[in-house]
Amino acid sequence: MADNDKTKVQDSNGTFGELKLMVTDYAKQQTVEPLKNLGKWAALGVVGGVMLTIGAFLTGLGFLRLFQKFSFLSETCDVGGVATTCDTTWTFVPYLMVFALLVAAAGACFSAMMKTPEWMDDDA
C-alpha cells in the first residue's frame, strides 16, 4: 500500500510539472517571441529611417548646389579680363529654396503617414 501512495505522488508531480511546462511554453509563445519579432521590425525601421535621412540630406545638398548655379542668384564680374563670381545679397535664396523644398517633402510624408488606409475604414 505504501508503494501505491508513492506512485500517486509522483503522478501528481508529473502532472503539475507538465502543467507548469505548458504554461511557461505558452507564455513564451505569446509574449517573448512576438517581442523578439517586434524588436527585429523596430531595428529595420530605425535603419530605414537613417537611410531616408541620409538620402534627404544628400538630395537637399544636390538641390542647393543646383540652385547656387542659377545666374540670377550670382552676378558675374569682369575683374582684369577674368570672369569671377561677385558677392551678392541674394546668396541666401538657394538655402531658403532648399529649406522650403525639404519642408514640403516632410509635409507630404507627414500627410501620407496620417492618412487612414482603406482597409482600416469602418464601413460596417
Nearest Cα residue to 101 out of 73, 52, 64: 64
pLDDT band at 50 (very low <50, low <70, confident <90, very high): very high
60 contacts 96 by C-beta, under 8 angstroms: no
The confidence score (pLDDT) of residue 37 equals 86
Indicate left, alpha or beta for 68 from its phi (over 0: left) and psi (-120 to 50: alpha): alpha
Task: Write down the pLDDT at residue 83.
Answer: 62
Name the residue among 113, 107, 92, 93 with its Cα closest to residue 56.
107
pLDDT at 84: 65
Label residue 86 by pLDDT band (50, 70, 90).
low
Between the ranges 8-17, 30-39, 60-69, where is the mean pLDDT highest? 60-69
The mean pLDDT of the chain is: 81
